[in-house]
Every structure is written in C-alpha cells, then in structure tokens.
C-alpha cells in the first residue's frame, strides 16, 4: 500500500512539474489602424480560436489575452469593417513562436491587411519618474550624509 501511495505522489509531482514547465508569459493584442471601429475580430492559429473581441475602437488596441497554446508562424485574422463586410487575412510572424517566448504577439489591422509582430518583454520595469532610477550611491555601505565626516 505504501508503494502505491509513493507512486501516486510521484505521479502528481511529475504532472505539476510538467504544468509549471509549460507555463509561458505570452499575450495576444490586436490593434486597429483604421479610422473606424472594426468588429467581430477573431484570431486563429492552427484552426483553433485564440482570441475574440467584439470590437476594437479606431486608432487603438484591444484588451490583452494570455496564451498557453503552442503557436505556429501563420495566424488567420477575421474582422468586419463598416462597408467592407467580413475580411479574412493571414498574418505571418518571422517563424514559429518559440515555446519559451516571453512577450506579446501583436496584430495590426490596417485598411485591407493585417500584420503580425513579436514584441519580446524587456524584463525591465521602466519609468520616467526619477525614483525609478537608482542613485550612484545606492547599494553601497557608505551613504552620503550619514557615514561621511
């Protein structure tokens, strides 16, 4: 009985480790370059719907969606523009999206086409505010005004 329990715990640990290893930080965002809103936006990859949004305002982008699925380099994007009806276009990235990719797959809908971009995360927290930049003395044991004579 104890061998069975140990085997069950080992199987559960292996499944948990596999789930954590496949975890990625990849997002999909759709931008609209048109002067009018586009509606019924759908992004598909390998026949699977990855992203759907009811509408994207003009000159803006839609809400981000996290992706866990494996992604190829070819995406099908569908949308409706006022007066144009349903449009379906294929957008390609410069290669398959690596499993280790950390960033955003950005789709840019134009008047008659769609482009796909891979925007990797920089892993930096950026800010224009002065307190986001460390001072030269930070991290050193001698703090000006406190330890100097």
Tell me the per-residue pLDDT of 60-101, one tens digit each, with 9 for 90 and over: 988 788 888 888 889 999 999 888 889 999 999 988 888 888
Q: Give the pLDDT score at 141.
A: 64
Q: Give the pLDDT score at 8.
A: 46
pLDDT digits (tens, 9 = 90+) for 28-57: 999 999 999 999 999 999 989 988 999 999
Query: Backbone dihedral region of 95: left (phi > 0), alpha (psi from -120 to 50 degrees) or beta?
Result: left
Contact between residue 9 and residue 86 where contact means Cβ atoms under 8 Å apart: no
Q: How far apart, in whole angstroms, are the C-alpha atoms of residue 56 and residue 60?
A: 7
Q: How far apart, in whole angstroms, are the C-alpha atoms of residue 114 and residue 30?
A: 10
Q: Give the pLDDT score at 21.
A: 39
User: Is pLDDT above 50 for 137?
Assistant: yes
Q: How far apart, in whole angstroms, are the C-alpha atoms of residue 48 and residue 76?
A: 10
């Amino acid at each position: 009985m104890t061998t069975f329990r140990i085997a069950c715990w080992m199987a559960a640990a292996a499944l948990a480790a596999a789930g954590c290893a496949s975890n990625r930080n990849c997002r999909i965002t759709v931008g609209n370059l048109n002067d009018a809103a586009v509606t019924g936006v759908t992004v598909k990859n390998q026949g699977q719907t990855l992203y759907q949004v009811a509408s994207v305002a003009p000159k803006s982008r839609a809400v981000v969606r996290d992706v866990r699925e494996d992604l190829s380099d070819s995406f099908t994007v569908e949308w409706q523009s006022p007066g144009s009806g349903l449009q379906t276009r294929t957008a390609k990235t410069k290669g398959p999206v690596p499993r280790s990719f950390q960033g955003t797959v950005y789709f840019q809908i134009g008047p008659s086409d769609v482009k796909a971009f891979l925007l990797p995360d920089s892993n930096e927290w950026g800010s224009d505010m002065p307190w986001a930049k460390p001072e030269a003395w930070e991290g050193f044991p001698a703090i000006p005004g406190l330890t100097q004579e």
